Amino acid sequence: MIAATEGVVDDCVRLGPRETAAGRRFTDPAQTDRDLRAVRVMLAEIRRQVARAATLPASPRPLVLEGREADGRAHRAVVCDERRLGDGRDLTWVGFFGVKRRDRDSTPLTLMDDELIREFPAHPGVLSYSSLEFADGDWGNLILLDGDAAAEQWRDGARHAYATRELAPRHYTDVRLHRGVLRGGVRGVGEPILRRTKYYDYRDSVIWRAEREWPP
């Protein structure tokens, strides 16, 4: 799930490339290093599935693939358009990493995630959606999109807007939302390039926000 918010917020703080906001450890750039490792794991699976799709007969999309990492962690890959994923053009990627509130039932998040996947056919710019479980029970998501306009179009959809406005503040303490570019799509050999990270802290009645632009 991509999370942002339209609730009551502080002015957005601008963080330097290696700056950690006081009292907000989730903004430590080392956390982003961990996120990027997870992004690479999810991207590798999408690359495998795009290569594999070329050998399989056509079937309805999105294609939902449930699997496990070697250590038992759940890993789901949803492939919507393997042709566009692998056609050699650049893609936009978005990574969502949030810390769930341990005193809340996360069922509403799971149900909303399933609803968002079911509506992917209405958002052709969403090309794939991956979810990777962490050892602590939190999850990371990787979304590959047909450009920035596709990311905005999905973000503005009614279900996604509800999830970001209502569910995220209730069910997460904090969130990191990354955006970047993947040169050459999934058939390219380059690493995912990180452009910007947005941070949300939901622990107080007034939501704290920050942004960081990453050097090229």
Amino acid sitting at position 145: L
Asked whether 81 and 91 are in contact (CB, 8 A), the reply is no
> What are the pLDDT tens digits along the chain (216 aa)?
545 544 455 689 999 999 999 999 999 999 999 999 999 999 999 999 998 877 766 667 788 899 999 999 999 999 999 999 999 999 999 999 999 999 999 898 889 888 888 888 889 999 999 999 999 999 999 999 999 999 888 887 788 788 888 889 999 999 999 999 999 999 988 899 999 999 999 999 899 999 999 988
- Compute the half-sphere exposure of residue 88: CA atoms within 13 Å on the CB side of its CA: 0
Per-residue pLDDT at 6: 44
- Best CA proximity match to 195, nearest among 92, 61, 49, 85: 92
Per-residue pLDDT at 190: 87
Tell me the CA distances in angstroms from 71 to 34, 67, 133, one per residue in order: 17, 11, 11
Asked whether 188 and 93 are in contact (CB, 8 A), the reply is no
Asked whether 172 and 112 are in contact (CB, 8 A), the reply is no
How many CB atoms sit inside 10 A of residue 181's CB?
A: 16
Per-residue pLDDT at 157: 78
Asked whether 180 and 144 are in contact (CB, 8 A), the reply is no
Q: What's the predicted TM-score (pTM) here?
A: 0.91
Per-residue pLDDT at 56: 65
Per-residue pLDDT at 7: 47
13-53+62-213: CATH number? 3.30.70.100
